[in-house]
Amino acid sequence: MTQNPQYYQLPDEETEVIQKIKIETEINNVDNISRTNAYLQYYLETPEMTWAFLASMVSRNGGYNMCDLEGEWFPRMIDPAIRKRLFLTYERANWLIFRDAYSQLLLYTYSTKKNTPMFHLLKFLDVSAFMEKEWHRFWETRDKKRMMIALIVNEQNVIHKPVIKHHVFKKRVFNTWLFSFEDFFHFSTVLFPTCDGELYGASVNGFKSVNKRIDLGKRLASILFDQRKYPLFLEFALRTEHTASRHDYEKFFPVYKKRDTPYLRCTYPIISHHYHEQGDWYKERKFQHEWLEKEIKHRHPIHLTKWYLQKQKQLHALVYLKDIFTTF
């Protein structure tokens, strides 16, 4: 973090709070599993912060995507160097979002304990001025939905410059045929499972667009917190330990499905990240009010169980086809 001279003018108590938040955030920002669990635990303790449950369920999907890269199928299609780059892309985005958002959640908890808003400290945690404004608004209105959408808007802007627009990720990941193929055919999908073996969710299409990523986040939130489905998703989260293998939810399918993706902590090392000062996206980029105000529209079915099974068959067929052509 850039050393802001005003940092040294803070009362000792506030300086100590900032340091504690940084330490606790770092402790929980080790890997996809620690992040997923931290988000869920926070939501269970602070249920008005609905974004935390959304973040936990989306983070599960990030783990599934990581482990797919070293499962039975993807290594037969994708070279090791490309798989490594894809893993690091998922990991970097996960890490940046958690570093930014979890520190906000911890500061909110501190504010509730003091019974006074302490959001002026957000700037010392590298959090955007946009979120400082939104936290103050939430403190006054207690508008949970608005707060959740604001956090969705923020997280997608947080990763836009350092991940989506980063010259290395842009050239070696987002502008590759493989990413375009996945994006176009909707192989990358955010899924919310139930213990009945059903899958709901939405596809990631146009991932490079911040507008489309925000729209996706809002659509996912509307699915997750649907009054009839929410208890089913919460039951799954509480009953199912997150290992990042897709078998976490495939084991609930009515027809037996063998595990063909590995466990994350048996597959990947801990990645050491370094934070590079990015500036405040809210001050550098034109803010679009439709991010907060535009209504949600589901253009495709959200019940994806049959769709998922069909996509798995398509993927396996492509792998077999590649195997055939490779042998000649």
Question: According to the model, what pLDDT value does residue 186 have?
Answer: 47
Residue 69's contacts (CB-CB under 8 Å, 6 or more residues apart) are: 75, 78, 83, 86, 87
Beta-bridge partner residues of 193 = 199
pLDDT in tens, 256-294: 999 999 999 999 999 999 998 889 999 998 999 999 998
Backbone angles phi, psi at 189, to 5 degrees: -135, 140
Beta-bridge partner residues of 303 = 200
CB 57 within 8 A of CB 44: no
């049959």: which residue's tokens?
306
Question: According to the model, what pLDDT value does residue 276 have?
Answer: 83
Cα→Cα distances 68→150, 247, 258, Å: 31, 11, 14
Average pLDDT over residues 8-25: 94
CB 49 within 8 A of CB 108: yes
Query: What are the structural domain ranges in the chain?
Result: 5-327
pLDDT in tens, 146-168: 999 999 999 999 999 888 776 56
What single string gives the DSSP state of each residue in 93-155? HHHHHHHHHHHHHHHHHHHHHHTS--GGGGGGGT--HHHHHHHHHHHHH--HHHHHHHHHHHH
Question: According to the model, what pLDDT value does residue 78 have?
Answer: 83
